Chains A and B, each alone.
Chain A
Amino acid sequence: DTGVSQNPRHKITKRGQNVTFRCDPISEHNRLYWYRQTLGQGPEFLTYFQNEAQLEKSRLLSDRFSAERPKGSFSTLEIQRTEQGDSAMYLCASTDTSKAEQYFGPGTRLTVT
């Protein structure tokens, strides 16, 4: 399967703990996005990478959130000191420079208790 993959698929954590999610984009795609989606809403943009460079971060992304894409391939999203309001589906999408349509991974569903 050459689609976008994300791990883990589900994460339950206690408030105050740190969590890290991984995204492996489609191999030839140089653009990678992270989104957050809550019930009844569309995906909300969090951050964007072109190759290894993080070019944009949403105001939604507080200082507790950090994302990396060290070699321009897979990416990680870390949330420190999780809060109950962080509970959501975290989606990763990728595309290449010549296209605007994005392809999504299955998401990581985070529940903070």
Chain B
Amino acid sequence: RKEVEQDPGPFNVPEGATVAFNCTYSNSASQSFFWYRQDCRKEPKLLMSVYSSGNEDGRFTAQLNRASQYISLLIRDSKLSDSATYLCVVNTGGFKTIFGAGTRLFVKA
């Protein structure tokens, strides 16, 4: 079993739709959680950290469920520019950071 698992997609949604991604992690001692966005042939860029109480940044909402060991990302009112791969990232303490394989999102006009 992979330490961080994501549905690879792709998710194909129309503009304006709401889409949600989940990510599960295996290490219950994991401490920090993030979502990164990666455009084709570009480097990953931090989208948002994920806090225990959940957090929102504009159209993006992240949630953490420690009991079930998953995190989620909700994107409202999808834009064409949201098309990218979304990477779930888990830090298990200290330096160790594990990336999921990513979920591909295509937003269509």
Contacts and interface: CB of A to CB of B under 8 A. Distances in A.
B49 A104 contact: no
Given A41-B102, A91-B44, A101-B46, 13 more contacts: A31-B95, A40-B8, A42-B99, A42-B101, A43-B87, A45-B97, A45-B98, A55-B95, A91-B43, A100-B32, A100-B97, A101-B32, A104-B44
Nearest 10 pairs of A and B residues by beta carbon = A42-B99, A104-B43, A100-B32, A100-B91, A48-B95, A42-B101, A43-B99, A41-B101, A106-B43, A101-B46
Interface residues of B, number: 22
Contacts, number: 49
Interface string B74-109: 000000000000010001000111111110000000
B79 to A, nearest CB: 23
Interface of A: 31, 33, 35, 40-45, 48, 50, 55-56, 91, 100-107, 109
Nearest to A92: B43
B99 to A, nearest CB: 3
B48 to A, nearest CB: 9
* A contacts with B: majority SS: strand
Given A100-B32, A102-B97, A43 B91 contact: no
A105 B31 contact: no
Given A40-B101, A45-B97, A100 B31 contact: yes
6 contacts: A40-B101, A101-B32, A101-B46, A102-B46, A104-B45, A105-B43
B1 interface: no
A27 B97 CA distance: 21
B42 A101 contact: no
Nearest to B6: A42
